[in-house]
Amino acid sequence: MARVSQEHLDARRRQILDGATRCFARNGFHATSMQDVLKEVDLSAGAVYRYFSGKEELIGAIVTEVLDEVRDAFEEGARQSPPPPPDVLVGWVMNKMLNLKPKLTPEGVSIHPRLIIQVWGETLRNPELAAVINEGYAKVSGVWEKVVEAYQEAGMMRDDVSPASLARTMIALTQGFLAQMALFGPIPVETLQDGLRGLMSMGESDTRS
């Protein structure tokens, strides 16, 4: 029997994850069965269960992957000296996340805001998924704290600002923006950036006068 290459195995796993992501974003976790996933990816049950034991493991893998992508994007920004200002950094990360694969519905809209809303709801009843979310949140929060410390070292931010408080605030800001996109439809990332710049400009008029 011919040996299956690692490249083939990785591609098949990617195919399953992408198909499951589309199903979950479209119909929600509870309304999606493993049979729906099999139909979406056009594979046999044996082929899918070779990679994932069931729906719960699929959900965990998808959530972990998205959180890792977000963390990696912020870490990339944090490695710059100094990091980009918040409006630039958040906009850059948000655009990267909205263009993750599989990124679009048939209407050309990113599926990730809808998926993230589904994840938050599922977290309330699924302790295993809640643990995944908490771990991912801690990683993203830790990166944001490093960004704040870099801002402070560069003189871009006051020294008395708590890195932990600002990290939680920035995460809440992006979560709220994603919730609006899921509930009300696509919103340009530039809208979030404009709003951030407006908040960042408070006090400038006093300084100039």
- pLDDT score for 1: 43
How far is 201 from 90, CA to CA, in rounded Å? 16
Assess contact for 52 and 31: CB atoms under 8 A.
Answer: no
Question: Rounded to two decimals, what is the model's pTM?
Answer: 0.80
137-178 pLDDT, tens digit per residue, is: 898 899 899 999 999 999 999 999 999 999 999 999 999 999
Question: Given this model, what pLDDT does residue 97 score?
Answer: 81
pLDDT cut 90: percent of the chain above it:
40
* Dihedral sign for Cα atoms in the order 7, 46, 18, 115: negative
- Given a cut of 60, whether residue 206 has pLDDT beyond it is no
Q: Which residues of 55-68 are buried (b: 16+ CB within 10 A; e: fewer)?
A: beebbbbbbeebbe
Query: With bands split at pLDDT 50, 70 and 90, how would you rate the model's confidence at 132?
Result: confident
pLDDT digits (tens, 9 = 90+) for 56-87: 899 889 888 888 888 888 788 778 888 899 99
- The first and second tokens of residue 29, run together, are 């976790």
